[in-house]
Amino acid sequence: MSIETILVFGEGDEGTPSGLTLELLAAARGIATNVEVFVAGDGAAMAPELGAHGATKVHATGPLDGKLIGVHAAAALQAHLAASPPDAVFFGQTPDGRDTAARLAVRIDQPVVTNNVGASVEDGTLVVEEPVFGGTQNVFTAFKNDGPALAMFRPKSFEAEATGGGDAEVLTVDIVDPGPAGSASVTGRHVEERSGPQLDDAQVVVSGGRGLGQPEAFEMVDELADLLDAASGASRAIVDAGWVPYSKQVGQTGKVVKPNVYVACGISGATQHLVGMKGSKHIIAINKDPEAPIFGVADLGIVGDVHKVVPALIEALKSR
């Protein structure tokens, strides 16, 4: 057996595929001869960009307004896989990706391996790589099932790259009755306001942690971020404390970031935080404790008080 076709669970917003979807296309292209995309929503608008990233076909349900995506996506995918089974389905580690993969795995009784950062083919079998113990070791898992391998991947595990392919062919997938779970409906959407550079793709990220001492001190993190054209991020400690919204959380249960420069202000460097940022090209850490684990991954470590170093840095940048 070799890997012929991989189906990517495509996500996006207003006709633009997400960065993670394009990353998965690159990963799939590296090991399969044919890559297709399944979209639980309007696929036509995304088809040109998906095609440019190597997808040959886009199988789309059309708009699912007011429906809980995972429920309907899993039911539609089950029917689609029965008609034209790929060798594997790749999902992004996102709220809808997780939901869909879990439901699909049960529906088709196939194993799903989550939390991966790598994919390869060994002896004709799909092998996925998952980091464990705070990213200190990697576990390689081979699929031994008959039927599609379901694998889920973390963001920023692969580099998205356009191949210059033409538009992908758009095919309609029927929406099927998902059973009792179909009673779940989305009655409202709340989109957090976003302005300036976003955590996912900013070249520079400035993050704050509990060492800031109080919620108001996050303002200096935002100010420093502004001056560096950076996105601001946070440790879970201050997200849980309600200082900043969850969308700013970096780490195992937050976002994975890989900027050119990551600046950690008053963050200890717990492994759950490190897994979200240690892929950054350069790391600067400011912490008053010389023993703080964050210094173990920092290229430039400053043992000092954030309330002195950060304001001085802001002043110096302003006066340039």
Partner 1 sequence: MKVQRQTEAGYDDVECQTPALVSVTAGVVEPRYPSFKGIMAAKKKPVEELNLAALGVDAAAVGQGGARQETIRVTQAEERQAGEVIEDEGDAHDKIIEFLGELKIV
Ligand X SMILES: Cc1cc2nc3c(=O)[nH]c(=O)nc-3n(C[C@H](O)[C@H](O)[C@H](O)COP(=O)(O)OP(=O)(O)OC[C@H]3O[C@@H](n4cnc5c(N)ncnc54)[C@H](O)[C@@H]3O)c2cc1C
Which phi and psi angles does 302 have, rounded to 5°? Answer: -115, 115
Q: Kindly tell me which of 10 and 276 has the beta carbon lying closer to ligand X.
A: 276
Please tell me the distance from the alpha carbon of residue 282 to that of residue 263, in angstroms, as a whole number.
9
155 near ligand X, rule: CB under 6 A: no
Q: What is the DSSP string of 236-277?
A: HHHHHTTSS-GGGBBSTTSB----SEEEEES----HHHHTTT
Please tell me the distance from the alpha carbon of residue 98 to that of residue 104, in angstroms, as a whole number.
10
237 near ligand X, rule: CB under 6 A: yes
Residue 273 contact among partner 1, ligand X, none, beta carbon within 5 to 8 Å by kind: ligand X
Q: Are 157 and 177 in contact (CB under 8 A)?
A: no
Please tell me the distance from the alpha carbon of residue 143 to that of residue 297, in angstroms, as a whole number.
34
252 near ligand X, rule: CB under 6 A: yes
**Which of 5, 116, 249, 280 is close enough to bind ligand X by CB under 6 A?**
249
- Give the orientation angle of helix 95-108 with respect to helix 69-83, to 10 degrees: 50
Q: Which of 68, 126, 146 is nearest to 100 (CA)?
A: 68
Q: Kindly tell me which of 229 and 289 has the beta carbon lying closer to ligand X.
A: 289
Q: Kindly tell me which of 151 and 250 has the beta carbon lying closer to ligand X.
A: 250
211 near ligand X, rule: CB under 6 A: yes
CB-facing half-sphere around the CA of 314: CA atoms within 13 A: 15
Q: Cα–chain-centroid distance for residue 38?
A: 18
Residue 192 contact among partner 1, ligand X, none, beta carbon within 5 to 8 Å by kind: partner 1
Please tell me the distance from the alpha carbon of residue 266 to that of residue 134, in angstroms, as a whole number.
20
253 near ligand X, rule: CB under 6 A: yes
Residue 212: CB minimum distance to ligand X, A? 7
45: which 2 tokens?
Answer: 């608008």
| Per-residue interface string for the shown chain with ligand X, residues 164-203, x marking contact by CB under 6 A | ----------------------------------------
Residue 291 contact among partner 1, ligand X, none, beta carbon within 5 to 8 Å by kind: none
Q: Kindly tell me which of 44 and 297 has the beta carbon lying closer to partner 1.
A: 297
250: which 2 tokens?
Answer: 């970096």
Residue 94: CB minimum distance to ligand X, A? 15
Residue 299: CB minimum distance to ligand X, A? 18
Q: Kindly tell me which of 169 and 316 has the beta carbon lying closer to partner 1.
A: 316
273 near ligand X, rule: CB under 6 A: yes
What residues make contact with ligand X under the rule CB under 6 A?
Answer: 209-211, 235-238, 249-254, 266-268, 270, 272-273, 276, 286-289, 292, 305-307
